[in-house]
Amino acid sequence: MAGLPEVLALDETGPDRFRSGPIPSEWARTFGGQIAAQSLMAAAHTLDRSYSAHSLHGYFLRPGRPQEPTDHLVERLRDGGSFCTRRVTAVQAGEAIFTVTASFHRGDEGFSHQVDMPAVPAPDDIPESDRINGWGMPRPAEWSHWEMRWVPGGQRGHVPGAPACQRVWIRYGRPLPDDGAVHACALTYLSDMALLGSARLPHPPTAVQGASLDHSLWFLRPFRADEWLLYDQVSPSAEHGRALTRGRLFDTGGRLVAAVAQEGLMRFDRPRPTEGRPRLHRLDGRPSRGTCPR
């Protein structure tokens, strides 16, 4: 399967227009983190590297098709002295599949505070797993370049009134270049990994359809995605076939480097016509994953 450098490789096809090629996948629909990371990279290509991404807010509009190229169309909404804003629309076959607004900042001096990192075992003290969280989904081949260590006892979801929770140490398994934009895009990719699964933990094994609906990410402090990050994931609510999830990412020094929020589809599986339409992700251990269904 393609590694992160191949995923983030974009060809400039015109002014503020970039194209990502087909990325081989075992899924019927493109992984949402991949589309978001590519769109953020397209936005970064229109900026001086003195600006770094500090937030993004995106919506998954249609299923992405891994076997087709994707065009990322960048709009320059604002170029300021401290902040720049870009809107990127990812398009396949003339239809928008994802849209994101990303803000970039040069950085300023100000106050500093953060919450403490949870007390967890170090990643080197936890064995590697070929599973995705406690309900046993096999790790997708798309994630073979990522190292993941699930924190023992870090899964909570059976206590009434308490949020469902899971924790995982994660890093990209190969060295990445010293380019802040690459690490921001790598974190954007990983921020969608297994996050919706936290909403599955309190419930019995039942076939459900799941997909990312929207995604927000805040970059808080410098980090490297090829070094261990603790991804603390919680789901405070699920209702009406949708689940709310949140995440915090800490480095091994305990610094809070990023925060995530996402709403995802999590509805009971139901019969539907499949001809001409990609299948939805099933949260029952079957390897399928992707962006918003329609």
pLDDT digits (tens, 9 = 90+) for 147-197: 999 998 766 656 777 888 999 999 999 999 999 999 999 999 999 999 999
13 contact partners, CB below 8 Å, separation of at least 6: 19, 71
Cβ-contact 42, 272 below 8 angstroms = no
Cβ-contact 98, 59 below 8 angstroms = yes
Please state which of the ranges 8-12, 26-30, 62-66, 288-292 shows the lowest mean pLDDT.
288-292
Give a yes or no: residue 213 inside a domain.
yes
Give a yes or no: residue 155 inside a domain.
yes
192 noted as active-site residue: yes
- CATH code, domain with 166: 2.40.160.210
Cβ-contact 146, 171 below 8 angstroms = yes
Give a yes or no: residue 10 inside a domain.
yes
In this structure, what token pair is assigned to residue 190? 């990983």
Give a yes or no: residue 142 inside a domain.
yes
191 noted as active-site residue: no
Give a yes or no: residue 276 inside a domain.
no
Please state which of the ranges 115-124, 128-137, 233-242, 250-259 shows the lowest mean pLDDT.
128-137
Convert the pLDDT of each residue in 80-139 to its tens digit. 999 999 999 999 999 999 999 999 999 999 999 999 999 999 999 998 877 776 556 778
Give a yes or no: residue 279 inside a domain.
no
Alpha-carbon distance of 280 to 277, in angstroms, equals 9
**Structural domain harbouring 50:** 4-106+124-268
Domain count, the chain: 1
Give a yes or no: residue 227 inside a domain.
yes
Crossing angle of helices 32-44 and 180-190, rounded to 10°: 160
Give a yes or no: residue 275 inside a domain.
no
Give the pTM: 0.91
Q: Write down the catalytic residue from 192, 226, 232, 251.
A: 192
Alpha-carbon distance of 202 to 204, in angstroms, equals 7
Q: Write down the catalytic residue from 212, 233, 235, 288.
A: 212
262 noted as active-site residue: yes
